[in-house]
Structure 1
Amino acid sequence: MRAVVAENGTLTVTEVDTPVPGPGQIRLRVTRAGICGSDLHARYHADAAADATAEIGYAAFMRRHQRVVMGHEFTGTIDAYGPGCRRRWRPGRAVVAVPMIRHGDDVHLTGLSAAAPGAYAEYVLVAEAATFPVPRGVPPDVAALTEPLSVARRAVNHAEITRRDTAVVIGCGPIGLAIILLLRAAGVRTIIAADRAAGRRTLARTCGATHIAPAPWPHLPPADAPALFRAGLDALAALRRVPGLPWPAVMRAATPRGPVVFECVGLPGVIEDIVSHAPFRSRVVVVGVCMQPDTFRPTMASNKELQLRFSSGYSPPEFHDALRLLARGRVDPRPLITDVVPLAGVPAAFDLLASPGHHAKILIDPHL
């Protein structure tokens, strides 16, 4: 079969062996695969990611020198079952799958391991237990975005955001845009989207952002410690003048909290920029994957009582939730899709996405 192979930063369309499903595995005929920001990073910085995952016990993350078929965002139709499968769906049924597969006792990340070739190919193997049928009426372009929407779903869950909170999304690539879609679906009223690329700011507006800007800070109140001190003392004095009033409970309930900031860039310096400019008591959810060492000022984060929460991947229930949102039309991710290319167009698509412009999510149709 034809596939795109990454090796030493070079992407080549070539012939590889068609995979044979093993126990509990299904072979899918890929209908769409998405190019992810993680793939862009892994093309050149796979070794740094592999070193980090090895520290937590997973030593099979792809290395730059290895020949790897990437692609972990995908949908396809059932082509063949391996031994021991339940065969719950007929051949030809459209499905999506959590991109993890077992080989013996080892579990591998599909598309991010030399041992688990991904969906930049005509066929891909998936675990039957991690496979979900695509509801009727959901086209392949939409179904293929289940995986990135799952990443966004987890980030929004981490945020514990309410409709009244102000959301700030920094970085309007596919994950940032997916977060905006989910925030809008959840009824969040104020969504500030920031990106240096004008085209991506336009996409953010289309996805539901209420304010767009190259940087979000002019839209938010600055951290002003003297004003905060004065307000606290004034409120304390006023409340304690009321006989019998449970002023501690009132003050606790009335204490304001800052916005929820989603960091979706993943470059050095972005967290420090947020720590420097975010209002008091902001919650910061770090979704972007920074591949280089970085620094920020803990004393400033403490001064403002910021909460930093790091989000990675998703759980199977969040993957299932994302698919349900797509099936019910609660979220329409089609504005994210800016192109569909054949396998031969993948190298050029990687180069386009490496320089943010108007592109967001480029999908691959391996059979074009």
Structure 2
Amino acid sequence: MRAVTCTGGKFEVIDLPVPTPAKGQLLLEVLRCGICGSDLHARNHCDELSDITAEVGYDGIFRSDQSVVLGHEFCGEVLDHGPRTRTGLKPGTRVVSFPLLRHGGGIHTTGLSVAAPGGYAEQVLVEDSLTFAVPNGLSTDIATLTEPMAVGLHAVRRSDISKGQVAVVIGCGPVGLAVVGMLKASGVRTVIASDFSPGRRALATAVGADVVVDPAVESPFASAGEHGHLTDAPSVFELAVGTMEKLRALPLVPWHRVWQAADLVGAATPKHPVILECVGVPGVIDQLIASAPLFSRVVVVGVCMETDRLRPAMAVNKEIDLRFVLGYTPREFRDSLHLLADGRVEAAPVVTGSVGLAGIDAAFTALGDPETHAKILIDPAGDATTPVPVVH
């Protein structure tokens, strides 16, 4: 089979043996494979990624002196299954799969490990237990977005945002766009999206953002007062004293009982936005802590691979809730597929181009310009050597 290997940051189209599925595995014909931001980073910074994951006990991420077939966002067609594999997925079924693979007694990350070659190839191995049939006639292009959309869904669910809270999405690359789409699919009524790129702001609007902001011109928190968010310490002091004056004036009812009841239903916590950071650049988290309204919840979705700095005292004084998220669960992967198939997520605008295997190098270059492309899909059967725009 034809595949593209990455070695020391350089791509090469080569011929590899067709992989053989083991027990519990399926062999897929790759129909489309998305280029992920983590692929862009891993191309030249895989050693740093490998060092980090090794500290949490996984040493399977490839290193720069190894050859790997990237690609963990893919849609394929079932070709075959391993021995003694009782699968309900017949040959010819279009599927997507959670990118983990059993190999050599361990479980490896598909497309980021030498032990689990990815979807930048004509065929790929997957686990039957982690593979899902594409429902409702969903197009192959949109089904391929299941994986990045699952990242967005996981971030939204981990944020614990309610429908009435304001969401502020910082950065409208593919991950930020997935977050915007999943926020709207989850029923969040007000989503503010912020990005320096006019093209990315336009895409954010296309996938459902209610307000888009150019942070070079306006803060994404400029409307905080309109939403009842507190932006300075004196406002908090006034709220505390004013509330106590009113509670103390209540006849017959102990004030602390009223406060306790309000606490139980969440009414004692000041209104605050949920901020989803999807940039992953040093300094952004500290900037958000400094500029966000008090009591904000900041969910870090963007992956910054460099050492960063922040001022804990600022976060303490503003009582910022800081959370970090990674990946998604099998249920969220399945849910994302069905949200796409049911038309509850406006995902088509995210796909901006496609290439064949020989065009992967050019696609990586094109993705460096935020005004040109957001998500480029690889068509292993195609022959495009430069990204072909996708018109929706």
TM-score category of the 2 structures, normalised to the smaller one: over 0.9
Provide the secondary structure at the position in 2 that maps to 1:193: strand
User: Which letter maps to 2:328?
Assistant: Y
Cα distance in 1 between the residues matched to 2:207 and 2:151: 17
1:50-74 deviation digits (Å, cap 9, x = unpaired): 0011011111111122111000000
Do 2:170 and 2:279's aligned partners in 1 also have CA atoms closer than 8 Å? yes
The equivalent of 2:241 in structure 1 is: 233
User: Which letter maps to 1:39?
Assistant: D
In the alignment, structure 1 residue 352 sits paired with structure 2 residue 366: yes
In the alignment, structure 1 residue 313 sits paired with structure 2 residue 327: yes
The Cα shift of 1:163 comes to: 1.2
Write the mapping of 1:106-125 to structure 2, written as runs, cut at 5 A. 106-125=106-125
Do 1:40 and 1:354's aligned partners in 2 also have CA atoms closer than 8 Å? no
The equivalent of 1:143 in structure 2 is: 143
Cα distance in 2 between the residues matched to 1:134 and 1:255: 42
Cα distance in 1 between the residues matched to 2:207 and 2:30: 27
In the alignment, structure 1 residue 242 sits paired with structure 2 residue 246: no
Q: RMSD of the alignment, in Å?
A: 1.4
| Count of residue pairs the alignment pairs up | 368
In the alignment, structure 1 residue 69 sits paired with structure 2 residue 72: no
Cα distance in 2 between the residues matched to 1:245 and 1:196: 52
Cα distance in 1 between the residues matched to 2:65 and 2:214: 37
Cα distance in 2 between the residues matched to 1:297 and 1:165: 26
Unaligned runs of 5+ in 2: 383-392
Do 1:283 and 1:306's aligned partners in 2 also have CA atoms closer than 8 Å? yes
The Cα shift of 1:21 comes to: 1.4
Cα distance in 2 between the residues matched to 1:232 and 1:87: 61
More displaced 10-residue stretch of structure 1: 171-180 or 10-19 = 10-19
Write the mapping of 1:1-368 to structure 2, written as runs, cut at 5 A. 1-215=1-215, 216-221=220-225, 223-248=231-256, 249-250=258-259, 252=263, 253-368=267-382
1:250-281 deviation digits (Å, cap 9, x = unpaired): 46424323100001111111101111111111
User: Which letter maps to 1:229?
Assistant: F
Provide the secondary structure at the position in 2 that maps to 1:354: coil
Provide the secondary structure at the position in 1 that maps to 2:367: helix
User: Which letter maps to 2:222?
Assistant: P
Cα distance in 2 between the residues matched to 1:37 and 1:157: 21
Provide the secondary structure at the position in 2 that maps to 1:115: coil
Do 1:197 and 1:358's aligned partners in 2 also have CA atoms closer than 8 Å? no
More displaced 10-residue stretch of structure 1: 213-222 or 39-48 = 213-222
Relative distance call for 1:327 and 1:297 in structure 2 (3 A) is same
More displaced 10-residue stretch of structure 1: 50-59 or 179-188 = 179-188
More displaced 10-residue stretch of structure 1: 352-361 or 159-168 = 352-361
Provide the secondary structure at the position in 1 that maps to 2:183: helix
User: Which letter maps to 1:218?
Assistant: A
1:285-313 deviation digits (Å, cap 9, x = unpaired): 11111111111111111111111111001
Do 2:207 and 2:345's aligned partners in 1 also have CA atoms closer than 8 Å? no
More displaced 10-residue stretch of structure 1: 63-72 or 345-354 = 345-354
Cα distance in 2 between the residues matched to 1:56 and 1:34: 27
Do 1:96 and 1:132's aligned partners in 2 also have CA atoms closer than 8 Å? yes
Cα distance in 1 between the residues matched to 2:316 and 2:50: 32
The Cα shift of 1:226 comes to: 1.3
More displaced 10-residue stretch of structure 1: 248-257 or 334-343 = 248-257
The Cα shift of 1:4 comes to: 1.5
The Cα shift of 1:246 comes to: 4.4
User: Which letter maps to 1:234?
Assistant: G
Provide the secondary structure at the position in 2 that maps to 1:217: coil
Cα distance in 2 between the residues matched to 1:301 and 1:353: 34
1:172-196 deviation digits (Å, cap 9, x = unpaired): 0111111111111222111110111
The Cα shift of 1:201 comes to: 0.4
Cα distance in 2 between the residues matched to 1:64 and 1:268: 23
Do 1:198 and 1:358's aligned partners in 2 also have CA atoms closer than 8 Å? no
Provide the secondary structure at the position in 2 that maps to 1:5: strand
The Cα shift of 1:355 comes to: 3.2
User: Which letter maps to 2:284?
Assistant: V
Cα distance in 1 between the residues matched to 2:106 and 2:84: 18
